[in-house]
């Protein structure tokens, strides 16, 4: 049996930020999942009608998968190993070598081929993140952030999950920190990260990103409510809600997680605006949750009850609330 010593499995709200938090913590750099998510500038919004996910226009509430793994270590000054593979056999052999050396390994995988998932949770999503922490009896021992306990998976299934085809194909990606700095200027990191998120959400130069993107989606939903075939409208709404509440793990399209980041940032910096913004971002998450609830009701009732324009109005309300929050955060500075 091979098992990484002193590893503590944790349950997280989201796989990529959770895996990064866990990998860094094991290396000696303790950052909570919300802090990883917020500092990496991962919060976003995008409605991309020209890209399809499950035959529906792509809706994303965060930066595209892989952003944290690719950008965040460099931002912190962490020496980081990151490698993709063409040869599955070589990728699996190197994984075994890392484990023998006592190195746990972060992997990008497909949720469909991750066989310890219950059948109802398995779908074609290629950006699920896990950590392999050991091997025993021809099975890999996996720390998966969405489960309460360690899981096990057969080598052939893990290989299939690492080399699934399609959007965001993992390409066998393996990654882990090599060395972490002794100190990090968290106040400076917080200021830069908030500035980046504010600029993206308020001043995106294209109409499908940030606040503009939420309004764009609201207009599309409003038009579809009256002009499209009812079944397509239900599928369209269902896709938005799924991306928000399932792919956007933690609920509210990551807005609750960002609120936690702002609260933790306030405790570090003492900037009062961050505490108020945290409270308002929690309220924004509640608004997104209400949109999801009303959308689900519309789908369940097959459009036979209620106002078909209500989902669009709720989206516009979400846009206005978030606009106010980012305008507030734009003024965030040391007191």
Question: Model confidence over 319-328: pLDDT tens digits?
Answer: 999 999 999 9
Q: What is the pLDDT of residue 248?
A: 56
In this prediction, residue 335 carries a pLDDT of 47
pLDDT confidence of residue 1: 87
pLDDT of residue 259: 97
DSSP for residue 120: G
Q: Which of 298, 200, 167, 198 is nearest to 240 (CA)?
A: 298
d(CA 160, CA 92): 11
pLDDT for the residue 167: 81
Which parts of the chain register pLDDT below 70? Answer: 247-250, 302-306, 333-335
Q: Which residues 6+ apart lie within 8 Å of 156 measured at CB?
A: none
- Give the 3-state secondary structure of residue 129: strand
Domain ranges of the chain: 2-30+79-179, 186-330
Name all contacts of 73-79 with Cβ < 8 Å and 24+ positions apart.
73/177, 75/39, 75/40, 75/189, 76/29, 76/39, 76/180, 76/181, 76/184, 76/189, 77/181, 77/184, 78/24, 78/29, 78/177, 78/178, 78/179, 78/180, 78/181, 79/177, 79/178, 79/179, 79/180
- pLDDT score for 30: 95
How many CB atoms lie under 10 A from the CB of residue 140?
Answer: 24
pTM for the whole structure: 0.93
CATH no., domain 2-30+79-179: 3.90.70
What is the reported pLDDT for 156?
Answer: 97
Alpha helix positions (H), 228-309: 230-242, 255-269, 272-300
Q: Buried b vs exposed e over 262-273: b needs ≥16 C-beta within 10 Å?
A: bbbbbeebebeb
User: In this predicted structure, what is the pLDDT of residue 303?
Assistant: 59
pLDDT tens readout for residues 83-117: 999 999 999 999 999 999 999 999 999 989 999 99
Strands 43-53 and 56-62: antiparallel
pLDDT of 242: 85
Residues with Cβ within 8 Å of 154's Cβ and at least 6 positions away in sequence, in order, are: 115, 138, 139, 140
**What integer pLDDT is reported at residue 299 of this predicted model?**
83
306: left (phi over 0), alpha (psi -120 to 50) or beta: left
């Amino acid at each position: 049996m091979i098992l990484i010593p002193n590893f503590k499995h944790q349950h997280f709200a989201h796989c990529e930020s959770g895996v990064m938090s866990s990998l860094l913590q094991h290396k000696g750099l303790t950052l909570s999942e919300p802090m990883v998510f917020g500092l990496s500038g991962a919060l976003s919004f995008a409605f991309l009608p020209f890209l399809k996910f499950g035959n529906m226009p792509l809706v994303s509430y965060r930066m595209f998968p892989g952003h944290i793994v690719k950008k965040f270590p460099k931002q912190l000054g962490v020496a980081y190993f990151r490698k993709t593979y063409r040869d599955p056999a070589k990728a699996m052999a190197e994984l075994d070598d890392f484990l023998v050396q006592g190195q746990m390994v972060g992997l990008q995988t497909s949720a469909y081929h991750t066989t310890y998932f219950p059948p109802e949770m398995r779908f074609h999503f290629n950006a699920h993140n896990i950590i392999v922490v050991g091997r025993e009896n021809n099975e890999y021992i996996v720390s998966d952030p969405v489960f309460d306990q360690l899981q096990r998976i057969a080598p052939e299934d893990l290989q299939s999950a690492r080399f699934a085809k399609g959007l965001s194909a993992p390409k066998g990606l393996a990654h882990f920190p090599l060395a972490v700095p002794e100190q990090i200027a968290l106040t400076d990191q917080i200021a830069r990260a908030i500035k980046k998120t504010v600029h993206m959400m308020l001043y995106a130069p294209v109409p499908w990103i940030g606040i503009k993107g939420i309004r764009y989606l609201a207009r599309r939903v409003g038009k579809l409510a009256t002009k499209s075939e009812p079944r397509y409208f239900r599928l369209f709404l269902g896709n938005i809600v799924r991306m928000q509440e399932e792919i956007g793990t933690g609920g509210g399209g990551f807005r609750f997680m960002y609120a936690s980041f702002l609260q933790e940032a306030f405790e570090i910096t003492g900037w009062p605006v961050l505490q108020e913004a945290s409270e308002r971002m929690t309220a924004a998450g509640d608004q997104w949750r209400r949109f999801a609830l009303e959308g689900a009701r519309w789908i369940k009732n097959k459009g036979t009850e209620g106002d078909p324009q209500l989902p669009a109005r709720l989206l516009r309300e979400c846009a206005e609330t978030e606009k106010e929050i980012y305008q507030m955060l734009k003024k965030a500075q040391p007191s």
